[in-house]
Structure 1
Amino acid sequence: MEKIKQQLEEQQIGKVKLNEPLKKHTTIKIGGPADLFIEPDSIENLKKTLQIVKDHGLSVRIIGRGSNLLIPDEGIRGAVVKLGPGLDHLEEDGNTIQVGAGYPMIKLAMIMSRKGLGGLEFAGGIPGSVGGAVYMNAGAHGSDISEILVKAHILFEDGTMEWLTKDEMKFSYRTSVLQNERKGYCLEAVFELNPGSKEEIVAEIQKFKDYRRETQPWSHPCAGSIFRNPLPEYAGKLVEEVGLKGHKIGDAQISELHANFIVNTADASYEDVMALIQHVKDTIWKEKQIKIETEVEIVSN
C-alpha cells in the first residue's frame, strides 16, 4: 500500500492516507480503517486515482459525507475514495446550476434560497452531499431530487463516465438506476430551480430545518432514516407500534425522538446496529406481517 500511496502522492491527486479510521467519515461514527483512503481534489484527479488503483488490482469503494452509511468495525479492504472538497464546485447559469458531488445539500439549499431560487426547500435539513442525494433520490416533505434534476454525471463501476438524463436515472422512491441496473456514483449534477420570493423560500427552508431539529435526533451520531417507508405505512410508526422505540442493543438505540433512527449512544459497534436492525425487522414481520427494508447503505466486505 505504501508504494501505491507514494504513486498517488507523486501525481498530486489530493489527500492520501493509510489505515484511515472510517468512523471519522460517517455521521453515525462507526467504521474501521480503510487500507487506502483517498480524497481527490478534482474530477480529473479522480480519474487518475481510479486508474492507478485499478492498475494495482485494488477494489474501490466510493463514499460521500457518510450520512447514510454503515461500515463494519473491521473497516474496508482496498481503497476508499471520498468525494468531498475538490468535488464541491458550483456554477450558476440563471435558474440552472451545476454542482459537484461533494457539495453539502443543506449549504446548497440555503445559498440558492438567498438568491430567490426555489426547488431545494426539502433539502434544508438533509445532512448528506449532492452525490449521495442523487444516488438515492433523497427527499422529504413531499419532494425529492427527481423534481429538480436535469442530468447527472455518473462514474460507473467499470470506470467509464457518462451524463444521464433525469429519465435515464429511473428515479423512484429513494432509489435510482445507480443502485440496480447500472451501478455507479454521481460526480456532479445539473438542477433546474424555480425563481420565487426570497423571503418565502428562506422561510420554508427554515421551517423544514426547525421541524427536523425538533423531531429527529441529529444531536447524537446517527445515519439518518434506517428503514424505507413500506408505503402506505411509515417505518417509524410501525417501530413505535411494536413497542421498540428506545430499545437498545449494546450502545445502539432506537431513538426516543424518532423511531426510524438508530443512534450511537456511546461506542456502538457495527454488530450492535445490525442486530438492532434485524430485531426490528423480525418483530414487525411477526406482529404486523409487514416486511421492511433498510434505507441506509450497509457495507460488507
Structure 2
Amino acid sequence: MFRILPFLILEVQLYLIRAFFTVEVPQLRYIAEYGSNITMECRFPVDGQLNLKDLSVSWAQKELEEQKSKEVYTLQKGEEDLKSQHSDFKGRATLLRDKLNLGSSVLQITNVKLTDKGSYLCLIDYRGADYKYVTLEVKASYARINVQKISEPEEEELILTCQSEGFPLAEVFWKNEKNLIVNESVNTTYTLTTDGLYNISSMLTFKPNTSENYSCTFWNKELNAETSYIFTLAQKSVSHVGRQSLILFIIPTCVIAVILISALIIFLKRKSLSKLHAKKDNKRKYPWLHKEDHRDLTPQTQDLIMANVKDSSDCTEV
C-alpha cells in the first residue's frame, strides 16, 4: 500500500502539470504537393517573454504503414540537436525559430517526397510538457502530360500516346470529340519510379479515316482530380486544296492586272500631254484664230479654217 502511494502522487503531479500546460494544433490534417514545401504547426503557452534555454521541441514522424518513428527535428534546451535526425529529412527539415517567441512551433519540410506522408508528433517541454499529432498527406497530380503522334503508313494506322507521372495510381480514359469513351485498341501500362511515383503510359491505335479529334484524360479518383490533353487531327480536305490552288491562281492574275492598268494610265497621260503641247503650238502659230471674235465659232468651223490656212501656207511655200 505504502509502496504504491508515491507512484500515485507522481501521476497526480504529472496530471496537474499537463492540465496547466497544453499543446494545441490549429490544423490536424495537411496536404502537400509532391516536390513543394510544407509547414506544420503546434502551439504552446509562453506566459510572457520566452526563455529559450528552458524550451525543448521535438518533431517525429510515424509512417502510416510502419510502427517505427523517425526523428525529424529536435531543439534541446534552446539549442539545435540534429545528431539523431533521420537521413530522410537531412537538409530538408527545419524549425522556424522566429515563431517560437509567439508560442508557435512551426516545422518546415522542403521538397516534399512521398515517403514524408504519415503522422507527426509535436512534443513541447517548457515549464510543463504535452504533445499532439498531425497528419501529412502527399499527392502528386498528373499535371504534365507528354504526348506523341506516330503514323504507320504501311498499316494505315495512327498511334497516339499519353504519358505522365503522379500518385496515387490514376485511370486513363480516351474520348472522341463527341465525348464518347473509346475502349477499343487502347493499351495502358504503368511502372513505379525510384521516388514511388506511378509512370503511366497509354496508347490509342486507330485508322484515321476522318478529321475527328481525340483526348486522353488522367483521372485520380482519390484526389478527385483530372488532367487532359486534346489531339487535333484535322486533315486537309479536297475543298481546302481547291481553295489553296485558287489563291495561287488569283494572286499572279491580280499582279498582272495591276501592271497592265498602270501601263494604260501612263500611256493615256502621255497622249493627253502630247495633245496639250500640239494645241499650244497652234496658238503660237495662228494667234488670230484664238481671238475673241472667233470664240463663237464651232469647233468644226475652226478646223475647216485651219485646213484652208494650212493649204494656203503650203501653196505659198511652193
TM-score under structure 1 length normalisation: 0.21
More strand by share: 2
Comparing both chains, which one has the higher relative contact order based on Cα–Cα distances under 8 Å and sequence gaps of 6 or more?
1
